[in-house]
């Protein structure tokens, strides 16, 4: 308890004293309180105090437009870290957070990407606490981004896409594959679409993405033909664009799309078939063919250009040709 009290005093003096003075202050306080016993008031427990601040932070993220899924991820990540550290938020130190991240990685065998995601969420949380004057300085400031390294993420080849189309098995799956491949929309955006959302004349539709933000996406002539054929074969009255094959026809869910594509990939011996790979393939193809990166960003609905660059993998053959053209 004495350490927590000293930490609070240090936090309060951060903007007044330099590092040398703070170090001296800690020595004086530790000596002064060496024979002192301190107990915390029972009317406000650590868990209750932390819970209120976490609740306020999540409310602010909700106002900013974060989805329920994102907020749930924030909540579990922050609560797990605070429960593990076991301290009042104002008493959490940089060392305590570093130890938590290190222990979490070792015990759960988590990837560096996962650990950095936790660090990023904690950074957002403590930065908000600092901005709202609940703490003087965020303890995450000195915890740098985890070096995750760069891995070349796979895209679909032209042959793989044609094989999936040829073996789709029904008009729904063929239209679904075409729509994902030609628009690059998220699978969550795809399952929200209704029949009325499709503008066949202009070959476009409006999707609702993260944070309920809407954007216009476009599809090609082949997709128009296959999508029209699928809808003409439907006998149900469901407004959803894609529904289950068996009656009663219910709106197709994300899990249904993922399972169908995964099974198709196993059947054709195509590795790692999942909806998101269509998105990455489109981004790579668009940049490879000369589409400006800002337009690709808008097409995919990314807030940050850096996110778009992570999706797009440069075609190695083009790198080879450019090397020969400019340097060879």
The DSSP string of 150-217 is --------HHHHHHHHHT--SHHHHHHHHHHHHH---HHHHTT-BGGGEETTTTEEEEE-GGG-EEEE
The secondary structure of residue 91, as a DSSP letter, is G
Percentage helix, strand, coil for the chain under 3-state DSSP, each rounded to 5: 60, 5, 35
CB 245 within 8 A of CB 170: yes
* CA dist., res. 143 & res. 98, Å (int): 7
Helix (H, G, I), strand (E, B) or coil at 89: helix
Domain boundaries, the chain: 1-39, 43-149, 158-322
Give pLDDT, residue 158: 92
Q: Do domains 43-149 and 158-322 have the same CATH topology?
A: no
**What architecture does CATH give domain 158-322?**
Orthogonal Bundle (1.10)
> Which residues, including other chains, have CB under 8 Å from residue 180's CB and lie 6 or more apart?
187, 190, 275, 278, 279
Give pLDDT, residue 5: 76
Residues of the chain with pLDDT under 70: 1, 14-15, 38-48, 149-152, 311-323, 328
127: its two tokens: 């930065």
What is the fold, at CATH topology level, of the domain defined by 43-149? DNA polymerase; domain 1 (1.10.150)
Quick one: how many helices (H) and strands (E) in the chain? Answer: 15, 3
CB 204 within 8 A of CB 248: no
Closest listed residue to residue 157, CA positions, set 251, 69, 281: 281
* CA dist., res. 205 & res. 316, Å (int): 33
Global pTM? 0.68
Residues paired with 218 in a beta bridge: 204
Give pLDDT, residue 277: 94
- 276-292 pLDDT, tens digit each: 999 999 988 888 888 88
In the chain, which ranges are E strands?
198-199, 204-208, 214-218
């Amino acid at each position: 308890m004495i350490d927590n009290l000293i930490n609070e005093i240090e936090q309060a003096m951060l903007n007044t004293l330099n590092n040398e003075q703070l170090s001296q202050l800690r020595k004086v306080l530790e000596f002064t309180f060496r024979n002192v016993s301190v107990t915390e008031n029972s009317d406000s427990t650590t868990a209750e105090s932390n819970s209120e601040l976490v609740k306020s932070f999540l409310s602010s993220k909700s106002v900013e437009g974060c989805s329920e899924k994102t907020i749930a991820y924030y909540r579990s990540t922050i609560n797990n870290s605070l429960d593990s550290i076991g301290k009042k938020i104002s008493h959490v130190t940089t060392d305590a957070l570093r130890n938590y991240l290190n222990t979490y990685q070792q015990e759960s065998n988590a990837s560096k990407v996962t650990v950095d995601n936790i660090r990023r969420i904690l950074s957002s949380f403590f930065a908000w606490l600092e901005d709202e004057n609940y703490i003087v300085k965020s303890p995450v400031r000195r915890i740098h981004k985890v070096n995750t390294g760069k891995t070349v993420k796979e895209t679909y080849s032209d042959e793989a896409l044609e094989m999936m189309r040829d073996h789709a098995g029904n008009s729904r799956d063929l239209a679904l594959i075409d729509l994902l491949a030609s628009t690059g929309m998220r699978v969550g955006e795809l399952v929200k679409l209704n029949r009325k959302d499709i503008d066949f004349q202009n070959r476009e539709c409006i999707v609702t993405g993260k944070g309920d933000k809407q954007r216009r996406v476009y599809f090609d002539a082949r997709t128009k033909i296959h999508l029209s054929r699928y809808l003409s074969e439907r006998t149900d009255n469901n407004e959803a664009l894609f529904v289950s094959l068996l009656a009663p026809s219910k709106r197709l869910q994300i899990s249904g799309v993922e399972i169908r594509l995964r099974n198709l990939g196993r059947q054709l011996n195509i590795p790692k078939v999942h909806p998101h790979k269509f998105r990455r393939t489109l981004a790579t193809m668009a940049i490879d063919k000369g589409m400006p990166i800002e337009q690709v960003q808008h097409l995919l609905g990314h807030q940050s250009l850096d996110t778009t660059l992570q999706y797009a993998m440069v075609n190695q053959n083009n790198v080879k040709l450019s090397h020969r053209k400019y340097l060879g």
